[in-house]
Homo-oligomer: A and B are copies of this chain.
Amino acid sequence: MSKKEIGVSSAVINRLPRYYRYLRELYRADILRISSSELSKMMNITASQIRHDFNCFGGFGQQGYGYNVKYLYNQISEILGVQDNFSAVIIGAGNLCRAISAGSIFTHRGVKLLSIFDNSQEKIGLTIAGVEVRPVDELKTFCKQNQVDIAVLTVPKSAAKETAEKILGTGIKGVWNYTNMELDLSVHGIAVQNIHLGDTLMTLCYTMKEQLEKGTV
């Protein structure tokens, strides 16, 4: 991987997972090579956008020859840390935990789900997505015994701060935060992705409203 990537804008970074998904499909369909114009058509973005994004990482293709799908897929996987085999635990064994852990979200991205933690006696001891639900009290010990990189927070907003504090000192380096309470743990050297599912519902409503006003619907 080229070291040209230093200082890549967050807009470019945020677009990489979408490239990853498309390249994964192409790779699995045994497509060997794709031009930027084909990729552009498939992904509904301009070819110049694609070239710009890939150039941030030193390119990946040869002019007029297209991209080698396997190579590109591997490069983007590496950039995104898919090959780093990060491990994760989920804190909060509710419906969102079940929804997130049931599919292939973790495995498709090289992340291994090690355990789930909850406070409820009804949930402790259950097996969800092949892993055991353990009491939150055991989080620190578990993290010491198993190297845990990521905590997924699916507890209610009211328990967000308290749960975030339990993560400090466990060696966890990243938080995928679904609590709807924005967390900033940068002073502790912990990266956070704050997820607000409702935000995209609002963007959808905005688009619908705009289309209705323009009379395009």
| A195, B202: Cβ atoms closer than 8 Å | no
Pair A174/B208 contact, Cβ less than 8 Å: yes
Residue of B nearest to A199 (CB): B17
A9 to chain B, nearest CB (A): 11
Given A98-B95, A201-B111, A201-B176, also A208-B191 (CB < 8 A)? yes
Chain B residues with Cβ under 8 A from A149's Cβ? 208
Q: Are B201 and A109 in contact (CB under 8 A)?
A: yes
Q: How long is the Cα–Cα vector from A212 to B207 in the complex, in angstroms?
A: 39
Taking CB atoms and an 8 Å cut-off, the chain A residues in 151-196 that contact chain B are 173-176, 180, 184, 189-193, 195-196
Closest to A156 in B: B103
Q: Which of B95, B191, B203, B206 contacts A95 (CB 8 A)?
A: B95
- For A199, the chain B residues whose CB sits under 8 A away are 14, 17-18, 21
Contact A202 B16 (CB under 8 A): yes
Contacts of A27 in B (CB 8 A): none
Stretch at the interface among A47-55, A67-75, A81-89: A81-89
A99, A199, A204 — most chain B CB neighbours (10 Å): A204
The A interface is mostly helix, strand or loop, or mixed, namely helix
Q: In the complex the two chains form, what is the Cα distance from A108 to B202 in whole Å?
A: 10
Q: Pick from A16, A199, A216 the residue with the most CB of B within 10 Å.
A: A199
Cβ contacts A138-155/B at 8 Å (1 or 0 each): 000000000001100000
Pick from B11, B95, B203: contact of A99, CB under 8 Å: B95
Which residues of B sit under 8 angstroms from A195, Cβ to Cβ? 197, 200
Q: CA separation between A82 and B205, bound complex, in Å?
A: 8
Show 13 residue pairs from A and B whose CB-CB distance is below 8 angstroms, ordered by the A residue.
Answer: A13-B203, A16-B202, A80-B202, A81-B206, A96-B99, A100-B197, A149-B208, A150-B201, A150-B204, A173-B211, A173-B212, A176-B201, A193-B200
| With A84-B209, A105-B197 already in contact, 10 other A-B pairs whose C-beta atoms are closer than 8 Å | A13-B203, A13-B206, A80-B209, A84-B205, A105-B201, A108-B198, A109-B202, A110-B205, A174-B204, A174-B205
